[in-house]
Amino acid sequence: MAIGTLPAARAHARLPWRARVSELLDKERVLGPLFITPALILIALLVAYPFCMALYFAMSNAFIGRPSHFVGLRNFINLWDADIFRQTFQNAFVFTGISVAFKLVLGISLALLLNQQLWFTRMIRGAVLLPWVIPTALSTLGWWWMFNSLYSVVHWTGINIGLMDPPGPNWLGQKYYAMAAVITVNIWRGLPFFAITILAGLVAIPKELYEAAESDGAGAWSRFWYVTLPMLKPVLAVVVLFSTIFTFSDFNIVYVLTHGGPINATHLFATYSRMIGLESGRIGEGAAISLYLFPLLVFVVWAQLRFVRKQAF
Amino acid sequence: MTAGRTRRGKILTHLLLLPFLLFALFPFYHMTMTSLKQDKELYDRFAVPLWIKQGPTLDHYAKLFRETEFLTWTKNSLMVTVLATTASVVIATIAAYALSRLQFRGVNTFGTGIFVTYLVPTSLLFLPLAQVINWIGLADSKWALVVTYPTFLVPFCTWLLMGYFRTVPKEVEECAMVDGATRVQALWRIILPIAIPGLVCATLFAFTLSWNEFIYALTFTSSSEQITASVGVTSELIRGDIYFWGELMAGAVLGSVPIVILYVFFLDYYVSGLTAGAVK
């Protein structure tokens, strides 16, 4: 008996403490905040705080290794007056506008095709999605080689099927060709996201709608126009918003393929900001350049919160 | 009659898909071919660039291992990716559970905060983050990447997992709690096992996103012992104006291999995760 009571007594002594903790953990208003604390700390220290720093930097003349002074909005104004920045601004809109438009049209077409009865559904989907999962910096190297001025396979093909005259364009050395090259790679990399997401939207459209339209005598085109497109609208809105923000802020493709050249013809906010902020050390100005992305970000966040989350909850 | 027509339609669909497949796959094919070509064929302007005529060689791969730090870069990538992914999935799992299941003050604000963070592009914050990294003494260290990658992985995984947790019926959890399980036990023994597909998905995406990350890796690390595979291949294999195309392509191919392996095994998770992340 005496031997048996000892562990029991010890267990009893431990119980109140453990019981209290587990009782506390069972309360939602305790467990909830506890569970979000790690994420909250992370976001506060490494997202919110750097963001405030970016705001401060952008309004100062910060330079690597030198004390900085507040200069108000001067960085933003100076940038706006500079030709290179104007060029960057314009590039960003051209790049994003053309890329997103192509990705949308091609994405819808590809999704419609993938939604048909196929022989190797899994393999085809796998192949379509591949550009999206491979490290962009590395696959862009492959494109760089494909656009190489001497050994370009794009050239070789173009000349051999009679689309181009030898010696053919210098893809990455001429303004418009370089932009076309950068846009092509962006479409290549972003198309899977559009196609697969739109495909998910297509699958979710009830079959009855098509049957009803068909019995009303609607042809393939009007079924697409009056049933598919309206039903896809929410998905399309989400995809376009997502893609706009990530295309606008793209860095990898331009950095690897052209470094912003030739003569700044392909610089985007991110690459130009890196060049000014890190390579020339003018952190203040660099931060101001990337903050030009901010109004767009605010718009996309607003639109997403309004349209997307309304559906989710 | 109809069978013949559907068959013809099927063939037509496949024919129409062909240009898309060619566009998607050709760069990889070309990269692989280039990495296996001998230099004399590679730099022959009159050779057909589409295939190998003068015999394949593994020279470029051998050089990559012998003359560059490629192995170190890959090890760095692996270490950063595994640590950042593990930490992020754990943090995101408990946060997603709290956000999708628990009632407490500020739950909606925090949910919105996570979503907004999810949309902030990395290229907006890399300059000030580089300063933060300097202050905490992690300049030019791969640990800087372990610390910063969760900033975009946690919001993404939380968002993804919230969707999965919502699909688990509340009654399942309540049943367990009626039977005497605490809330934490119910999460550990009931919810998480049901949500395993979601956890796999979050892990895969976190792994892929950190393996592919480029701008932070390029900004926060620079010495050859600290950089990741993407940065190593794009910056260390190019010396001045001389490009070693064979080695470059070999590096690009090998640097993608871990992701391709995961991808082949878990294709369906990638497809479902991609749509869940965007639509939910």
Asked if residue B41 and residue B170 are part of one domain, the reply reads no
Please determine, for residue A269, whether its predicted confidence score (pLDDT) is greater than 80. yes
Which of the two residues, B280 and A6, has the higher pLDDT score?
A: A6
* Parent domain of B22: 2-57
Asked if residue B133 and residue B34 are part of one domain, the reply reads no
pLDDT score for A308: 64
The answer to whether position B64 is within a domain reads no
Mean pLDDT computed over A97-118:
94
Q: How many alpha carbons fall within 13 Å on the CB side of residue A143?
A: 30
- CATH classification of the domain holding B106: 1.10.3720.10
Token duo for residue B54: 């003068």
Q: What is the three-state SS of B127-180?
A: HHHHHHHHHCCCCCCHHHHHHHCHHHHHHHHHHHHHHHHHHCCHHHHHHHHHCC
Q: What is the ipTM of this complex?
A: 0.90
Secondary structure of residue B238 in the 3-state scheme: strand
C-alpha distance from B253 to closest chain A C-alpha (Å): 8
Asked if residue B216 and residue B172 are part of one domain, the reply reads yes
Asked if residue B210 and residue B112 are part of one domain, the reply reads yes
Q: Give strand pairing partners of B243.
A: B238
CB contact under 8 A, B208 and A133: yes
Q: Is B136 on the interface with A (CB under 8 A)?
A: no
* Structural domains for chain A: 2-47 (no CATH), 83-312 (1.10.3720.10)
Please determine, for residue A1, whether its predicted confidence score (pLDDT) is greater than 60. no
Q: Which residues of A touch B23 (CB under 8 A)?
A: 188, 191
C-alpha distance from B41 to closest chain A C-alpha (Å): 11
Asked if residue B121 and residue B86 are part of one domain, the reply reads yes
Residues 6+ apart with CB under 8 A from A140: A185, A252, A253, A256, A257
Asked if residue B38 and residue B132 are part of one domain, the reply reads no
Asked if residue B239 and residue B102 are part of one domain, the reply reads yes
Q: Is B76 on the interface with A (CB under 8 A)?
A: no
Provide the whole-model pTM. 0.89
Please determine, for residue B1, whether its predicted confidence score (pLDDT) is greater than 90. no
A93 pLDDT tier (thresholds 50, 70, 90):
very high
CB contact under 8 A, B23 and A188: yes
d(CA A105, CA B17): 15
Asked if residue B44 and residue B73 are part of one domain, the reply reads no
Query: Which of A242, A203, A294 has the alpha carbon at shortest distance from B280?
Result: A242
Asked if residue B245 and residue B113 are part of one domain, the reply reads yes
**Residue at which a domain ends, from B16, B35, B57:** B57
C-alpha distance from B136 to closest chain A C-alpha (Å): 12
Q: Is B252 on the interface with A (CB under 8 A)?
A: yes
The answer to whether position B62 is within a domain reads no
The answer to whether position B104 is within a domain reads yes
Token duo for residue A227: 């049933």
Q: What CA–CA distances, in Å, run from B87 to A59, A133, B80, B101, B259?
A: 35, 21, 11, 21, 19
The answer to whether position B63 is within a domain reads no
The answer to whether position B241 is within a domain reads yes
- Count of domains observed in chain B: 2
Asked if residue B198 and residue B80 are part of one domain, the reply reads yes
Asked if residue B83 and residue B34 are part of one domain, the reply reads no
Residues 6+ apart with CB under 8 A from A259: A271
Q: Which residues of A touch B20 (CB under 8 A)?
A: 106, 110, 113, 128, 191
Asked if residue B182 and residue B138 are part of one domain, the reply reads yes
The answer to whether position B249 is within a domain reads yes
Mean pLDDT computed over A216-220:
85
* Predicted confidence (pLDDT) per residue in B175-204, tens digit: 888 888 888 888 888 889 888 989 999 999
The answer to whether position B44 is within a domain reads yes
pLDDT score for B169: 85
